[in-house]
Amino acid sequence: MEIKEKIEDYNSSIDAADVSSEEALEAFRIQFLGSKNVLKDLYKELRNVPNEEKKDVGQAINALKKKAEEKFESAKKEKDNKAGTKKKFDLTRPAERVELGARHPLAVIRNEIIEIFSRIGFSVSEGPEIEDDWHNFSALNFPPEHPARDMQDTFFIEKNDHEMALRTHTSSVQVRVMESEDPPIRTISPGRVYRNEAISARAHCFFHQVEGLYIDKDVSFADLKQTLLYFAREMFGEKTEIRLRPSYFPFTEPSAEVDVSCSICQGEGCNVCKYTGWLEILGCGMVDPNVLEASGIDSKVYSGFAFGMGIERIAQLKYRVNDLRKYSENDIRFLKQFKSAY
C-alpha cells in the first residue's frame, strides 16, 4: 500500500476509533501514541518517499500525530472530569450538620405563661405599643400628678405633647379589653413595654410583661390568691409557696406584691433570694371600682382581679440570667442555650 493511502487509512481510523471506555482509550493510545505506535512506521517509510513529496507527506504524518494526540487528550480530560464530579458527590459522606435555631428565652417563658393560664380558661389579648394617655394612665386611675406621667419615666411620642406615649406597662390592654368585651373576662396580655431608664444589668429601657385580668360576678381575693398559687407551682415546681405583701397600685384596691419561695435554695437562703428565701415576681390586686367604671363595667355587679409580671424577671429566676442586657444583645452563644418544649 502506498504511504499516502496508509495515511488516509489511519486518518479515518483515528476518526472512527472508539475511545469511550477506559480500555478502548488505552488501546487507542498504544496504537497511535505508544512506544511502538503505527505512526513511527510511517516516519520510517518517509525515507523512501521522493524528495519533492517528502515535505507534504511529512506534514500529513505530523497532522495525523497531532490529531491522535488531541483525540486522546480530550477523551482523557472528559473521563477525568467525570471521575472528578463523581468524587464531589460522594454519597457515602456524612451530611454536614444543620444547626437548628432556638427560640428566644423570653419567647419560651412567654409561651409557657400563656400555656399555663390557657389551661384554666384565660385567652390571650394584645394592644398597641404606642398608647394614648387614657389607656395607659387615666382609665387606670392614675392621678394627673402621678410621677409615672413624668418625662423622666415615660417616652412620649412628641416632646411637648403628652397624649401619646410608648406604653409603660401592659395594664393598658386591660382597659382595651374591658372597653370592648362584656364580662366574664379571663385574659392575659403579653407584650413589650418601655420606660425611660438608664440601661444596666438590672434595668432596661424596654422589657416585657404579662398582664392578667379576671372579671366576673363574685370574684374574690381568694380567687386571685389561688390563681397565683396555681401559676407559681406550674412555673416553678409543685413545692413552691407564695407570699402576698400589701402594696399600692392606682388601679387595684387592695393591692399586693407576690413573692415565690426561692426555687434555688428551697427557702433556705441564698444569694439569689438575698438570704430571705423569697423572690418577688409580680404585682396584683382587686381591680379598683373606678377602673371598672371608666371602662363601662358596672362595679356593683362585677368585680375582678388583675396582676402584672415581668417576663425577664421570670426568665431570670428560671434560667438564672443575671444581666437584663443579655436578652437584647442577640449574642448567638447566649441564645442557643435555650432549647425548649415551648
| Chain positions contacting ligand DAH, by CB under 6 A | 169, 171, 211, 249, 252, 283-285, 306-308
In angstroms, the CA 110 to CA 210 distance is 8
| Of residues 148 and 335, the one with the C-beta less far from ligand DAH | 148
| Of residues 105 and 308, the one with the C-beta less far from ligand DAH | 308
Amino acid at 323: D
Q: Rounded to the nearest whole angstrom, what is the least distance from the CB of residue 333 to ligand DAH in the complex?
A: 31
Residues 284 and 307: beta-carbon distance below 8 Å: yes
| Of residues 249 and 278, the one with the C-beta less far from ligand DAH | 249
Helix (H) or strand (E) holding 187: strand 185-194
Pairing relationship of beta strands 242-249 and 252-261 according to DSSP bridges: antiparallel
Q: Rounded to the nearest whole angstrom, what is the least distance from the CB of residue 209 to ligand DAH in the complex?
A: 6
Q: Rounded to the nearest whole angstrom, what is the least distance from the CB of residue 340 to ligand DAH in the complex?
A: 26
Q: Rounded to the nearest whole angstrom, what is the least distance from the CB of residue 106 to ligand DAH in the complex?
A: 16
Sheet (strand 278-287) strand order: 123-124, 185-194, 206-216, 303-310, 278-287, 252-261, 242-249
State which residue has the least CB distance to ligand DAH.
308
In angstroms, the CA 26 to CA 69 distance is 12
Q: Number of C-alpha atoms within 13 angstroms, CB side, residue 7?
A: 19
| Of residues 10 and 141, the one with the C-beta less far from ligand DAH | 141
| Of residues 307 and 327, the one with the C-beta less far from ligand DAH | 307
Crossing angle for the helix pair 311-319 and 221-236, to the nearest 10 degrees: 40
| Of residues 17 and 286, the one with the C-beta less far from ligand DAH | 286
Q: Rounded to the nearest whole angstrom, what is the least distance from the CB of residue 193 to ligand DAH in the complex?
A: 7
Q: Rounded to the nearest whole angstrom, what is the least distance from the CB of residue 93 to ligand DAH in the complex?
A: 55
In angstroms, the CA 151 to CA 78 distance is 76
Helix (H) or strand (E) holding 93: none
